[in-house]
Amino acid sequence: MYVCGITPYDATHMGHAATYVAFDVLQRAWLDAGHEVHYVQNVTDIDDPLLERAVQRGEDWRAIAERETALFREDMTALRVIPPREYIGAVEAIPSVASYVQRMQELGVVYAVDDDLYFSVSSDPHFGSVANLDRAEMTRIFAERGGDPDRPGKRDPLDCLVWQDARPDEPAWNTPLGHGRPGWHIECVAIALDHLGMTIDVQGGGSDLAFPHHEMGASEAQVVTGEWPYARHYVHAGMVGWQGHKMSKSRGNLVFVSQLRADGHDPMAIRLALLAHHYRSDWAWTPQGLQGAEQRVDLWRRATAMPSGPDASATLQRMREVLSDDLRTPSALDAVDQWAMAAVAGTGSDATAPALIADACDALLGVRL
């Protein structure tokens, strides 16, 4: 599994948390089923938004990236997200990116616009099959999400940047391609191919990455390797809203995991507030949702502290059943609720049940009671 990581120019907000908790549940379900899981995640530690933030703050971009990446990892640890086997920075992958772009040059699928290099999306016959959008919609979204469809000199408005020549007052690296830095999509491709190879089981991220990021990354990988498909499944988490809009750094309507933790909220309640929504759904964060999650974790803790409770085997079976059906976490929470309410009511005499439920919540849902 490869899941696209953060661009570390601000703290972890609930939209981030929802995505990474969702893929954590997938990893837990796979582990519970007896699979060996190779999970790779990147951090986009060089990108335009990070450089813009550095200019705004009058701070070195590297210091911001290091600080926010560390805070992200602290937040993930608090939320009990199992770390990926490899966590690779884009800067670390620059030599690899350069080698893949050189291979694209050899294949004749990269061309220059001024001194920048672009990948020709028409070189992949499967281009468009990830997000399944028509050309007009792709062009519109490309312009909104970091693309440059109107740049003069491009052969196709949808062709994407793979190498950017050095700009004044911006970081750049010396490579066989010249002095510059990678485009966005090719960074993830290089990291995924180096550590996982082609045909990974799941390429994951937020739904806003389906196009252009996952679409273009898949085409780059398929062309440079000559193999198809890049991934068997493209899995996208829904967007989390706040104050009537999708949480976004540009809008500033963010609820931060670190701030909730600093305010004394239990990370397990934060995690339960996320798991109460199906990962593919768009939904809105509310204080009431967090309050309900705090009540839920209190109920579960009281129930698993009981000396005995109802037989837990059916509950465990139900949890596994719904998680294997597209990670239906709300149904898994309902199953635990039913057991917990019965246990608190004094129903059942199985002395092993409370510990079994606590272990199941820990292993399958990542909720430590």
- 23 pLDDT more than 70: yes
CA angle in degrees (0–180, nearest 5) for 118-250-256: 120
For residue 89, the cross-strand partners are 43
Helix (H) or strand (E) holding 91: none
**What's the pLDDT at 64?**
84
pTM for this entry: 0.94
CB environment 140-170: b (16+ within 10 A), e (fewer)? ebbeeebbbbeeeebeebbbbbbbbbeeeee
Q: Which whole number is the average pLDDT over 313-329?
A: 98
Say yes or no to pLDDT of 210 above 80: yes
- Digit-coded pLDDT (tens) for 132-159: 999 999 999 999 998 999 999 999 999 9
pLDDT band at 10, cuts 50/70/90?
confident
Mean pLDDT, to the nearest integer, of 93-109?
97
In this prediction, residue 55 carries a pLDDT of: 84
Beta bridge partners of 40: 2, 86
Segment holding 248, helix H or strand E? none
Strand pairing class (231-237; 200-206):
parallel
Pick from 155-164, 211-220, 251-260, 334-343: least confident: 251-260
Q: What percent of the chain has pLDDT over 90?
A: 85
Q: With a cut of 80, say whether residue 126 has pLDDT above it.
A: yes
pLDDT band for position 315 (cuts 50, 70, 90):
very high
Amino acid code (one letter) for 263: D
CB 179 within 8 A of CB 165: yes
Side chain identity at residue 317, one-letter code: Q
Residue 7 confidence (pLDDT): 82
| Structure tokens, 296 | 């839920």
In this prediction, residues 256-279 reach a mean pLDDT of 97
pLDDT of 222 higher than 70: yes
Question: What is the pLDDT averaged over residues 15-40?
Answer: 97
Residue 246 has pLDDT above 90, yes or no: no
Give residue 249's pLDDT: 67
pLDDT at 250: 66
Q: What angle do CA 285, 290, 293 make, to 5 degrees?
A: 130
Per-residue model confidence (pLDDT) at position 9: 80
Looking at every residue in the chain, the average pLDDT score rounds to: 94
The three-class DSSP label of residue 262 is helix
Poorest-pLDDT segment among 138-152, 191-205, 247-261, 334-348 = 247-261
Q: What is the DSSP letter of 278?
A: -
Q: Is the peptide bond before 171 cis (omega within 30 degrees of 0)?
A: no
- Summarize pLDDT for 160-192 with one digit per residue, the tens: 999 999 999 888 999 999 999 999 999 999 999
